[in-house]
């Protein structure tokens, strides 16, 4: 019986050491990155944290540039055509926004819009992500409502469960990507 427990303890120690040694490669397999050139270029161009962009892409499409939502959002950052057209005009991007499945076009538009939202909400990524997901109009209404915002600038609570979960997911993934690839 003593030999059994001794072997069990040795096996457990080996398993712990192996898990620690392979933790990063395993996590990198679970949290892969793609489109790194597009992310680097556009996060710098639009002054958006590249790990936040990775978190958005991971949550929105799992880095699938062919992704399409039931609401008509397309590509890696799940951009809608009307948003792309607005960004193209507002930021003078000069892009063919009819091809939102092109990662370069999609990430350029997504980063430009994310910068716009972050700037609008004074650098508050939490509020900006809520607007990215639920829409700017909804977030502006929530900020006016004392049930959701005590100061009119930050959100104390997000009333849409899907949006609340989305924001938390993106921020968690941002932190994971920064830890793994930063």
Residues recognised as catalytic: 60
Backbone dihedral region of 62: left (phi > 0), alpha (psi from -120 to 50 degrees) or beta? left
In 3D space, the residue among 65, 71, 109 whose CA is nearest the CA of residue 90 turns out to be 109
- The total number of residues written for the chain in this structure: 182
Angle CA 168–160–150, to nearest 5: 80
Task: Concatenate the DSSP letters of all residues of 31-63 into one string.
Answer: S----HHHHHHHHHHTT--HHHHHHHHHHHHSS
Q: What is the dihedral of CA 33, 166, 180, 115, to 10 degrees?
A: 70
């Amino acid at each position: 019986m003593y030999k059994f427990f001794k072997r069990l303890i040795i096996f457990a120690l080996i398993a712990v050491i192996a898990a620690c040694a392979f933790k990063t490669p395993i996590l990198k397999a679970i949290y892969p990155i793609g489109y790194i050139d597009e992310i680097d270029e556009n996060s710098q161009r639009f002054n958006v944290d590249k790990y936040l962009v990775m978190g958005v892409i991971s949550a929105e499409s799992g880095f699938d540039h062919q992704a399409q939502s039931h609401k008509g959002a397309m590509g890696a950052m799940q951009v809608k055509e009307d948003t792309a057209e607005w960004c193209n005009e507002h930021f003078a991007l000069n892009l063919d926004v009819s091809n939102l499945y092109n990662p370069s076009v999609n990430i350029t538009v997504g980063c430009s819009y994310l910068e716009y939202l972050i700037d609008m909400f004074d650098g508050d990524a939490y509020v900006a992500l809520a607007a990215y997901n639920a829409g700017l109009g909804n977030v502006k209404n929530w900020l006016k409502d004392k049930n959701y915002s005590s100061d009119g600038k930050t959100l104390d609570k997000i009333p849409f469960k899907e949006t609340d979960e989305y924001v938390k997911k993106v921020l968690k993934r941002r932190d994971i990507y920064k830890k793994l690839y930063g």
